[in-house]
Structure 1
């Protein structure tokens, strides 16, 4: 973009802001904020809820706009559950669960990518660790198998090499986060 074009764009933008700002301010003064309770009540996402024999709670929301399924598994374990003075265990657990299980060895991402999964990852927070992926509807059984297998058959697949590798990865991620502005806050 030439210097003249940039100057013209800046002048037009400044003029537009000067003209519209008083009108927006006048409108803003007369607008009343909506009560939060009304906003929450307006959100209605229908879902089914049931508990499996093994105690797992299942929530299902059906939306047939696209032939995909979002799978999200939440564990009620996070960094708030770590021993006092120790940190990183919940995050390490999250990473270890991506390294395969006894019946699905190897990188957890690879079989999901092969079936067309998108938006797949996991996160850890104070009170939970979750894993998620979006898969074609026809691949739901594979995604559920992989999630189920790492719930029940993880320990036999954990090796010292995998553990050491993920300790290094998690430690590096922590260093990177701590070194960000407000990272230690």
Structure 2
């Protein structure tokens, strides 16, 4: 008998909601650990880009970490880190997402941070120029610099 045959996973309690503003919420409550994860998915990715004009989804993923009306550049990371959490963002062809995992008592902080940057992202020329160069450098390192 293999060890994995003895493992019994409880079924997931997945709940779906749609807010009056159109935001879709997927909730999977699990009180077995005092941790929460918040993930915000935008249904936009590289598939939405036109030939010859690529990289915008990735650029805006980076822009989401450049501050907002109430949170200065870099503070989002600081708030989550000080709360004992981790965070990141990713882009694919189908979606762009941002996520935090932190102690459950800090759920209001994570939701507030996400709502603030969703509402009032700091889109400035300085941030655009800086992040455009960062994304170009990532492309050079990941794709253009491959030996095969």
Q: Per the shorter chain, which TM-score range?
A: 0.7 to 0.9
- How far is the alpha carbon of 1:101 from its aligned partner? 0.6
- Verify: 1:82 aligned to 2:64, yes or no: no
- State how many pairs are aligned: 138
The structure that is helix-richer by fraction is 1
**2:146 alignment counterpart:** 180
- How far is the alpha carbon of 1:43 from its aligned partner? 9.1
Match of 2:119 among 152, 156, 173: 152
- How far is the alpha carbon of 1:64 from its aligned partner? 1.5
Cα shift readout 1:47-83 (whole Å, capped 9, x = no counterpart): 1111011111101111112111011110001011112
Query: Aligned equivalents of 2:60 and 2:50: distance in 1?
Result: 14
Query: Aligned equivalents of 2:71 and 2:116: distance in 1?
Result: 7
**2:4 alignment counterpart:** none
- Verify: 1:45 aligned to 2:15, yes or no: no
- How far is the alpha carbon of 1:174 from its aligned partner? 0.8
**1:98 alignment counterpart:** 65
Query: Aligned equivalents of 1:153 and 1:79: distance in 2?
Result: 23
- Structure ID, larger Rg: 1
- Verify: 1:62 aligned to 2:29, yes or no: yes
- TM-score under structure 2 length normalisation: 0.86
Q: Which runs of 5+ in 1 are unaligned?
A: 1-41
SS across alignment from 2:13: coil
Query: Aligned equivalents of 2:138 and 2:113: distance in 1?
Result: 26
Query: Aligned equivalents of 1:74 and 1:181: distance in 2?
Result: 34
Which structure has more RCO (C-alpha within 8 Å, separation ≥ 6)? 2
Cα shift readout 1:113-157 (whole Å, capped 9, x = no counterpart): 122212x10000001000011011111001000101111111xx2
Query: Aligned equivalents of 1:45 and 1:133: distance in 2?
Result: 20
Question: What is the RMSD computed on CA atoms of the aligned residues?
Answer: 1.7
- TM-score under structure 1 length normalisation: 0.70
**1:138 alignment counterpart:** 105
Query: Aligned equivalents of 2:142 and 2:83: distance in 1?
Result: 33
Divergent runs of 4+, >4 A: none
